Amino acid sequence: MIDLSTTYLGLKLKNPLVASASPLSKKVDQVKQMEDAGIAAVVMYSLFEEQITHESLELDHFLSRNTNSSSEAVSYLPDSGTYSLLPARYLQNIEKIKKAVKIPVIGSLNGVSKGGWVRYAQDIQSAGADALELNLYYIPTDPTLSAQELEDAQVELAAAVRASIKIPLAVKLSPYYTSLPHFVRQLANRGVDGLVLFNRFYQPDFDIEDLKIANTLELSISNDLRLPLRWISILQGQVNTDFALTSGVHTYQSVLKAMMAGAKVAMLASELLHNGIGRIPEILDDLTVWMEEHEYISIKQMQGSMSQKSVAEPAAFERANYMKVLGSYQQDLP
């Protein structure tokens, strides 16, 4: 019998499918439906820093000194409409969901300054969350803020949260770091249990008729898988932490690729929002059939099998492959 089980953040999961943060986790019945459909764990929708700053006025110097002069750092974050839950409601929601389901429930904090994050991390733990995902969503707009200052502040934030709670901690990152391997190694060295790659920044558009900024939410597509796939393949075995792949997970093939790269879980939301919770059992069934046909007996057997350290051509993940890909495209031109 095929063994789909995996371990992520020390949590034993029945399969590698995890529902990433989305509006689906706002309602107890929807989380219950995902559990019944076969999802192994669920990440709660994020509690945003902007929602709790009125309760905690301590803002980190490096990350807030440009607040008054640069409004876009705040305005480009998701607004507090349908995507938000006030702090008290958020904690109550965790408690309700934990009582309703047996799968692990992972809390989510989205912010960049120290402020009240330690307190709210502890509150999420007290509400019953099995783990916490800290989402470092930040767009630097101050030209006097160096990359070193920003990264040091984010590492210290993660370390402060890690020291304040007993449950496992994962950090969700964007791909926009000068040296991603060095940065994630610092996080791992400070006790972070897992890394979620990658967050997707929602880009503003221009409404050229009304001359205003248009903010729209676009769901991921399958090709978005390639960026986190590449980096998990590179980092797996170099950094002592668990990896979760998110963005671009839409099919069983996506899950297989994530596992072969070295991820412990594949997180999906866009596929469920677009095609419904019924996609969960379909993906799991297709995954099992593929594994049977290719004589795999477990998920653990394939994890990391196509990481950079395992493949015959490791340069395929690096610059050496850049010219090769461009050359092959030019050869196909008429």
What CA–CA distance (Å, rounded) separates 19 from 78?
Answer: 19
Residue 211 has what pLDDT? 85
- Which range has highest mean pLDDT (71-85, 104-118, 131-145, 187-201)? 187-201
Structural domains in the chain plus CATH codes: 6-331 (3.20.20.70)
- Is 281 a residue whose pLDDT tops 80? yes
Q: Is the peptide bond before 198 cis (omega within 30 degrees of 0)?
A: yes
In 3-state terms the chain splits into helix, strand, coil percentages (rounded to 5) of 45, 15, 40
Q: Which of 32, 77, 29, 30 is nearest to 50 (CA)?
A: 77
Residue 57 has what pLDDT? 42
Find the radius of gyration of the CA atoms of the chain: 20
- Is 242 a residue whose pLDDT tops 90? yes
Query: What is the pLDDT averaged over residues 198-220?
Result: 79
Identify the burial level of 135 via C-beta atoms within 10 angstroms of its C-beta, where 0-12 means exposed, 13-18 middle and 19 or more buried. buried
62-71, 90-99, 111-120, 205-214: segment of lowest average pLDDT: 62-71
Backbone phi and psi for residue 267, each to the nearest 5 degrees, phi listed first = -100, 135
Q: Who's near 139: CB < 8 A, 6+ residues apart?
A: 72, 73, 76, 201
Q: Indicate the residue type of 81.
A: G
Q: And the tokens for 147? A: 């990359």
- Count Cβ neighbours within 10 Å for each residue of 56-90 and write b for 16 or more, e otherwise: beebbebbbebeeeeeebeebbbeeeeebbebeeb
- Is 66 a residue whose pLDDT tops 60? no
Residue 241 has what pLDDT? 96
Q: Who's near 38: CB < 8 A, 6+ residues apart?
A: 14, 15, 17, 280, 281, 284
Residue 221 has what pLDDT? 84
What CA–CA distance (Å, rounded) separates 27 from 35?
Answer: 13
pLDDT band at 213 (very low <50, low <70, confident <90, very high): confident
Reduced to 3 states (helix: H, G, I; strand: E, B; else coil), residue 180 is helix
Q: Where are the beta strands (DSSP E) in the chain?
A: 6-8, 11-13, 17-19, 41-43, 47-48, 105-110, 131-135, 169-173, 194-197, 205-207, 212-214, 242-246, 265-268
Q: Read off the pTM.
A: 0.84
Q: Give the tens place of pLDDT for each residue, 121-170.
A: 999 999 999 999 999 877 788 999 999 998 998 999 999 999 999 999 99
